[in-house]
Amino acid sequence: MKKTILTLALIFSGVTLFAQSAEETLNKWISTYSQLNTEKNWDGMIANFNQCISEVPTWDIAYYYKGLAEYNKDQFQASAASFSEFISKAPADRSILMKAYMFRAQAFNKQGLSQQALADCEELLKENPNDKDAILEKANAHMAMKDYTAYIADLEAAVVLDANNADLYKNIASAYGMQQNWQGVVDNYTKAIAINPNEASYYNNRAFAYYSLKTPEGYQAAVADYNKAEELGITTAQLYNYRAAINNGLKNYEAVIADYNKLLEMNPSDVKTTYSRAMAYYKLNKFKEAIADLDKVLAAQPKNVNALKLRANCRNKVGDAKGAQADAALIKELTGAK
């Protein structure tokens, strides 16, 4: 009897020791992965995974950590697979489960798997309809699918939650631009400007939308916006070209010449701009200035018939009949005109 009792005691003692060992092992891995996460040691998380799961196969969080590490190493396919494994285990902690859905949605989007990303975003929004990050990730998926209407709807839902976010209005405006809905672009950049009135790019982009409306009021507003964009620091050839084109349509030739002057400061040998400035001078009856520009054009392009015709006209205007006749003769020679 004593021998039997002793044997049972040893067995129960062994069970106790085993239970303590399993708990200690789990705590060891919890501590290890917590430290690796704090250090952002993604390689360490991945390298330790197999040993961890072999020692504590029921610790599902290991799959979450592996997915997190792979995501941060841009291994998006592997990351999505790890998060899928974690999600399949139906973890009780809803907070971590939702994080897994978010990371997997992002990993899917990174791979161009938009439909899968949308499905994960819908799971997140079932949990919390006001999850702004999920709404924005959903918007990313719709943008990748070029579904601009859905993209706009997503961002407008995000605006309800974050009304003072100028970037949201900017992105909505960009989507309207892809649809060539220029009034939508104007309206949303106007909202962005109300939040951040010193962002030069907002005025620059709204100016193009105003210009694209093709209305007299739109042209005037476009010039005002380009002026503001320049004031705030945008001094690009694109701005000067667009503003010159608009002012030319508005017959504001002094402003046209001012922009061409800036363009020629950037690129003095630009023949096209030099010719365009000559045209603006001609319209202002500044024939000598036009001739000077046309001389430069013809020095670079001696067979430019349009430049010769314009210079001949300007020479007649200033009383240079001999010069005008010389240009006319050259035009006849180049064109074969009788």
Mean pLDDT of 278-289: 98
Q: Please count the other Cβ atoms lying within 10 Å of the Cβ belonging to residue 167.
A: 13
The answer to whether the CB of 286 falls within 8 A of the CB of 292 is no
Q: How many CB atoms lie within 10 A of CB 116?
A: 18
**Residue 77 token pair:** 């396919």
Distance CA 321, CA 221 (A): 44
Helix axes 200-212, 237-249, angle to 10 degrees: 40
Element at 211 (helix H, strand E): helix 200-212
- Where along the chain do its domains lie? 235-338
Find the range with the poorest average confidence among 11-25, 41-55, 283-297: 11-25
The confidence band for 17, taking pLDDT boundaries of 50, 70 and 90, is very low
Residue-wise pLDDT tens digits, 230-258: 999 999 999 999 999 999 999 999 999 99
**Better-scored residue on pLDDT, 6 or 278:** 278
Count how many Cα atoms sit within 13 Å of the Cα of residue 321 in the half-sphere of its side chain.
Answer: 0
Structural contact between residues 142 and 112, judged by C-beta atoms closer than 8 angstroms? no
Q: Cβ(26)–Cβ(56) under 8 Å? A: yes
Are the beta carbons of 64 and 97 closer than 8 angstroms?
no
Query: Phi/psi at 45 (nearest 5 deg)?
Result: -60, -45
193-to-169, 187, 223, 224, 240 alpha-carbon distances in Å: 9, 10, 16, 14, 22
Q: Which of 9, 4, 74 is nearest to 43 (CA)?
A: 74
pLDDT at residue 2, rounded to an integer: 41
Confirm if 246 and 258 have CB atoms less than 8 A apart.
no
User: What integer pLDDT is reported at residue 22 of this predicted model?
Assistant: 87
In this model, does residue 8 exceed pLDDT 60? no
Superfamily of domain 235-338: Tetratricopeptide repeat domain (1.25.40.10)
Sequence letter at residue 215: T
The pTM for the full model equals 0.84
User: In angstroms, rounded to a whole number, what is the distance separating the alpha carbons of residues 301 and 314?
Assistant: 18
Residues 6+ apart with CB under 8 A from 273: 260, 263, 264, 267
pLDDT digit string, tens, across residues 177-234: 999 999 999 999 999 999 999 999 999 999 999 999 999 999 999 999 999 999 999 9
Q: Please give the pLDDT value at position 337.
A: 66
Cα–Cα distances in angstroms (integers) from residue 81 to residues 52, 62, 78, 105, in the given order: 18, 13, 5, 12
CA 153 to chain centre: 18
- Of the candidates 227, 336, 44, 161, the residue with the CA atom closest to the CA atom of residue 52: 44
